[in-house]
Structure 1
Amino acid sequence: MTSTFSAPTRNLDIVTLHEILRLRQDVFVVEQECAYPDIDGRDLEPGTVQFWAGTGSVDATLRLLREPDGTERIGRVATAAHARGKGLGAALMTAAIAESRSPSIAINAQAHLGEWYAQFGFVRSGEDFLEDAIPHTPMVRTR
């Protein structure tokens, strides 16, 4: 059985944090070939909450950021190649939306995943743009 967890980054044990960062590196930097600074300082902001799922290790993750204007943003949504198609990402999205305290949540979705995010109530909120040479769609979900 897969378990889903969440905690502010500052409350994570070092092993869990390492597994989250390693998974993000494996997916975004290695698999998607995007050389960018994943460790951007936002994980340590007081309002940032990490979500993860897996059976004995971190197989999927995302983070929920609290923006200065009170809105929230989901980002760094990643699932290990061996764990895709098992509903882990959907479980994390559902958990993050449930934990959200904001009337609106934003996400910059990789464009090919727009329909996937739409199932959680996200709608396009602007024009597509390139981020690290990958097309992205700004989306927002309001309560």
Structure 2
Amino acid sequence: MLEIKTKTFKELTKLDLYDLLQLRSEVFVVEQDCVYQDIDGKDQKAIHILGYNDEVLVAYTRIFKPGDYFDEASIGRVVVAKNKRHFKYGNTIMEASIKAVKTYFNENKIKISAQSYLIKFYTSIGFNSVGEEYLEDNIPHIAMIRN
């Protein structure tokens, strides 16, 4: 079971911030062997969607209102701890994130920058590829939209 908590940057505790940065680093930097600037100055504008299993952060996203990241509302930094992926927490955290975009921003159109190997996953939850594949931090990505 995944317990979802939604917080603004100001509502995050020091422990919340530590845990989410640790999870993002564990997956995006270490597991994916990608040196990049994760702490990008955008967390302060985001609403943070935190997914806990037994009080441990195992899934996370951040959402943005239109204009704060893309022209459309957006979801980013989608991450699930490697040892928890078989529980399909990716679906749960994305469902919560899509709902939060509607709740916080009253938006249905959502844009993401998806790692290309996850196109099938994002398509299964209503996103469609737009444009050409591109490299972001030397990893193939594709823009996707959900209406």
TM-score, normalised to structure 1, is 0.92
| Unpaired stretches in structure 2, ≥5 consecutive residues | none
| Residues 56-109 of structure 1, C-alpha deviations (whole Å, 9 max, x = no match) | 111111111123276211110111111112121111100111121223100011
CA contact (8 A) 1:128 1:136 kept: yes
In structure 1, C-alpha distance between the alignment counterparts of 2:130 and 2:116, rounded to whole Å: 12
For 1:78-97, list aligned pairs within 5 A: 78-97=79-98
CA RMSD of aligned residues (A): 1.3
Count of aligned positions: 140
In structure 2, C-alpha distance between the alignment counterparts of 1:91 and 1:66, rounded to whole Å: 21
Q: Aligned AA for 1:97?
A: I
For 2:12, the equivalent position in structure 1 comes to 12
CA contact (8 A) 1:70 1:102 kept: no
TM-score, normalised to structure 2, is 0.90
For 2:113, the equivalent position in structure 1 comes to 108
CA contact (8 A) 1:127 1:137 kept: yes
For 2:62, the equivalent position in structure 1 comes to 63
CA contact (8 A) 1:110 1:135 kept: yes
In structure 2, C-alpha distance between the alignment counterparts of 1:110 and 1:71, rounded to whole Å: 18
Shift of residue 54, structure 1, vs aligned partner: 2.0
In structure 1, C-alpha distance between the alignment counterparts of 2:2 and 2:113, rounded to whole Å: 27
In structure 1, C-alpha distance between the alignment counterparts of 2:132 and 2:113, rounded to whole Å: 11
